[in-house]
């Protein structure tokens, strides 16, 4: 049987799982961290290991945000209208521990992305299309797989859809003149 990926069922299932990671990644810029995750150290190439955009406060906040959003999902679960689906959905049992793993994994994947960017000579904040949008997704899914069976179709849909949503939001922001550039 062919893998069904671009369906509303897979979409609902994977958004349910990734929500704590989206929240962690989206809210962490509000944390004005000062303690660098790389302790200001450089790699053998003389460039920063991770750079000033990755902080310990950010990592801790990401874990906490993930756990809090997951707790809200866990509490909301019984009240959500799952019955309107015409086939049973594969909804991951959301718990604060799973949310913590998603938040931690998002921050770890994001830091791995920064490590790669620094090795490519890209300074902090310079865009790396696809890597910037998918690094935290990959990290969150890997980390969550310690606790739940992460389905291949969830991973594919999230890795494809996240950059699409990101760039669409950027273009809308540009058209609404909220942003100066369309990226």
Contact residues for ligand CTP, defined by CB under 6 A: 28-29, 31, 33, 37, 51, 53-55, 58-59, 107, 110-111, 114, 117, 124-126
- Measured CA distances, 113 to 22, 74, 75, 118, 164 (Å): 16, 30, 33, 9, 18
> 10 or 37: whose CB is closer to ligand CTP?
37
Closest residue to ligand CTP, Cβ-based? 58
> 58 or 96: whose CB is closer to ligand CTP?
58
96 CA to centre of own chain: 16
> 96 or 139: whose CB is closer to ligand CTP?
139
Shortest Cβ 136–ligand CTP spacing (Å): 8
> 37 or 94: whose CB is closer to ligand CTP?
37
Residue 172's H or E segment, with its range, is helix 152-175
The span from the CA of 135 to the CA of 139, in Å, is 6
Shortest Cβ 62–ligand CTP spacing (Å): 6
The span from the CA of 90 to the CA of 103, in Å, is 21
> 26 or 182: whose CB is closer to ligand CTP?
26
Shortest Cβ 140–ligand CTP spacing (Å): 13
Tell how many helices (H) and how many strands (E) occur in the chain.
5, 0
Do you know the residue count of the chain? 183
Shortest Cβ 166–ligand CTP spacing (Å): 11
């Amino acid at each position: 049987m062919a893998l069904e990926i671009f369906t509303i069922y897979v979409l609902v299932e994977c958004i349910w799982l990734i929500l704590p990671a989206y929240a962690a990644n989206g809210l962490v810029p509000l944390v004005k961290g000062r303690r660098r995750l790389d302790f200001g150290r450089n790699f053998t190439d003389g460039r920063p290991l991770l750079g000033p955009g990755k902080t310990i406060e950010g990592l801790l906040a990401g874990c906490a945000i993930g756990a809090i959003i997951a707790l809200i999902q866990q509490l909301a679960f019984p009240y959500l209208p799952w019955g309107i689906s015409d086939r049973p959905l594969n909804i991951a049992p959301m718990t604060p521990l799973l949310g913590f793993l998603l938040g931690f994994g998002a921050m770890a994947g994001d830091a791995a992305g920064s490590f790669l960017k620094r090795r490519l000579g890209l300074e902090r904040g310079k865009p790396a299309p696809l890597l910037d949008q998918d690094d935290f997704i990959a990290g969150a899914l890997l980390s969550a797989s310690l606790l739940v069976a992460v389905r291949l179709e969830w991973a594919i849909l999230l890795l494809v859809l996240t950059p699409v949503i990101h760039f669409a939001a950027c273009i809308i922001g540009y058209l609404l003149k909220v942003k100066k550039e369309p990226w």
